[in-house]
Amino acid sequence: MNDLVKSAFTLEKQDDGIAILTMDVVGETMNTLKAEFGEQITSILDEIEADSSIKGVVLVSGKESSFVAGADITMLAACKTAEEAEQLSKGGQEMFDRMENFKIPFVAAIHGPALGGGLELALACHYRICSDDAKTVMGLPEVQLGLLPGSGGTQRLPALIGIQQAMKMMLTGSQVRAKQAKKYGIVDDAVPKSILLKVAKQYALKGIPKRNPPKLKGANKFLEGTSVGRQVLFKQARKQTVKKTQGNYPAPEYILDVLEASAGKATKRGYELEARFFGKLVMSPESEQLRNIFFATTEMKKETGVEGVEPAPVDKVGVLGGGLMGGGIAFVTTSKAKKPARIKDVRPEGIANAMKYSYDILNKKVKRRFIRKSEMQKQMALLTGSLTYEGFNDADIIVEAVFEDLGLKQQMVNDVESNCKESTIFASNTSSIPIKHIAEKAARPEQVIGLHYFSPVDKMPLAEVIAHEKTSDETISTTVEFAKKQGKTPIVVKDGAGFYVNRILAPYMNEAANLLLAGEAIDHIDKALVKFGFPVGPMKLLDEVGIDVGSKISPILVADLGERFQAPDAFDKLLKDDRKGKKNKRGLYKYSGKKPGKEVDDSVYSLLGIDAGKKLSHEQIAERCVLLMLNEAALCLDEGVIRNPRDGDIGTIFGIGFPPFLGGPFRYMDSLGISHVVARLEHYQGQFGDRFAPADILKTMAKEQKSFY
């Protein structure tokens, strides 16, 4: 047995007849469950069983700030067949089953995250006590990896807290905090961390509890407690699930199948189905891609901006511009990075709006009892504002978020260099203007960099870090580290119009506009791409972002990258009719009436001189739009705009919601086969001209039968 296994579990018997079982995986910051621990746990359980002086067992973590973060998913990659993966699940089930059937009580003392297999381990205990600390969260997030809970979670959780609450947790992968866990009945008590062990030991001396089924009231009694009610419940759940997943993700369907089969009780059939479906899902292409994303982001968290170059500390942040982006940047700076942010705007209303952005989010959290009011006040105190550069002289980084005007941005660089310290970094949140132009007149161009966030800033996980030729390595490393502290996944991209994400988005959006001008209905185009797996269709996205914003980016891309980025003249016609989208409630969709933003504004068709219909299939529409995005992604890799396919995939998934189950543009091209991608591009090139001309890198790869990964 290797050292890792030898020292993962220790048993310490105490005078009062309680044994403390500690899990502490050596050399890792968090505990994860590994297949090879089976032998170790078995021998510990044998030891407990053989010792009649032990009256109860308290299970604790040897890690300072986490319980068990789940199962180690690297072991799934070793499975060659669904049967092998099913055996893994059965092994976990048997282990936890043995714990549950012990004659003495097991108590889980939970502090920090108890997720996935970690929560399943706790559910197999007779009692669960958790700390009321903000770090303590519980959940079954397997669905986010295209899986279902495979060690009894689909059986024990509904039996404990009811079908609907368990279903919600499993289908969304959402986490609950200590207070919610107590309210739902997941834990028996939530106490301060200082007395967690003491209370857990008291429970261990209580003997094994007799658990009653969850108390159901009103409609829930009918929905969960009767077979007719459960039929209604699952029919509704399936309908909503398909609407959400568009049938692209098998895991939620399987979760519902298992829950329906076991009807809210832990049954033999339920356990069998759980293991079988777990095995099938491990081998599914969707889960493989979702696990690839997980590994890629884990890898990226460990990387620095420039290898071997240490980031400088960032203690104070300035934000120029109090618009939506400025407000969002200030919020993630104070909430995630825990650093003070000072906002500058030319109008007092701008500063007030930016502060309101933070206030509104925090106030909602206070109302939902996610945070205390004192925590909100503490965070708001980190925000200050000014109409001048007073108070900016000691800022380590200034993030500029004013509108897209080159002259204005150059002026801002000048102002910062005059009013801040010599080491201050100027980071521009431009979405399309090359950083070299913004740094053109800078006295210290090595400290000018792009830091492009996506809207809404508090929700979108990506940030593009854009270095121009003169940006110093220290500036890159410092900016990457700063973005990580704000909770972002940063990718370093080369300078150039549109950078990476907007550059590959533009041809996709333009093709959707070409389809519209060719007579395809707006909602038909959108449905095609939502069905393909995007969160919203391109037409809806245009309304959300702003038709005027799209039209401003286009000339910048054409000037830098050529005619293939020329936007169709539909955009000009829309703007002449004062249609900017959602912001002025005039766009491609209607923003008045009962369903604002849901119904197409049919007057657009006569404005554009179109007879709209459904001429092409959803598949044809999606293929035309997506192929151009794939082709552009390949060009970006070839030109060194992105460092590798992995960054390109993560950037597209986190930046514009490319379907995660396809793994990103590069993994998707690999799964289609590069030759197939080239053949389809050439097919459309013959029909519509050179905007579909395949990138040289793709033609070469097809000839040499290569793939990106």
- On whether the CB atoms of residues 132 and 85 are closer than 8 A, the answer is no
Tokens of residue 550, six digits: 């799209």
Burial state string for 677-704 with b = 16 or more CB within 10 A and e = fewer than 16? bbebbeebeeeeeebbebbebbbebbee
Dihedral over alpha carbons 155, 159, 165, 171 (to 10 degrees):
10
Rounded Cα gap, residues 527 and 515, in angstroms? 13
CA-nearest of 187, 197, 194, 91 to 139 is 187
Report the C-alpha gap between 59 and 111 in whole angstroms: 11
DSSP state letters, 80-134: -SHHHHHHHHHHHHHHHHHHHT-SS-EEEEE-S-EETHHHHHHHTSSEEEEE--T
CB 654 within 8 A of CB 462: yes
Helix or strand or coil: residue 533? Answer: coil
3-state secondary structure of 9: strand
Backbone angles phi, psi at 426, to 5 degrees: -105, 110
Q: Look at residues 32, 38, 33 and name the one whose alpha carbon lies nearest to residue 1.
A: 38
Q: Do 681 and 627 touch, CB atoms closer than 8 A? A: yes
Rounded CA-CA distance 108/199 in Å is: 11
Q: What is the CA radius of gyration of the chain?
A: 28
Q: Considering all CA atoms of the chain, what is the largest pairwise distance in Å, rounded to the nearest integer?
A: 87
Strand partners, 490: 463
Judge whether 464 counts as a catalytic residue.
Answer: yes
Handedness of CA 400, 402, 404, 405 (dihedral sign): negative
Which of 464, 474, 520, 632 is labelled catalytic?
A: 464
Closest CA to 473 of 305, 299, 612: 305
Taking CA atoms, 23 is separated from 9, 341, 622, in Å, by 5, 40, 49
Interacting residues of 517 by C-beta distance below 8 A, sequence separation 6+ = 568, 570, 608, 610
Please identify which residue in the block is written with the tokens 């209607």: 590
d(CA 544, CA 663): 25
Contact criterion met (CB below 8 Å) for 477 and 310: yes
Half-sphere exposure of 504 (CA within 13 A, CB side): 28
Active site residues: 464
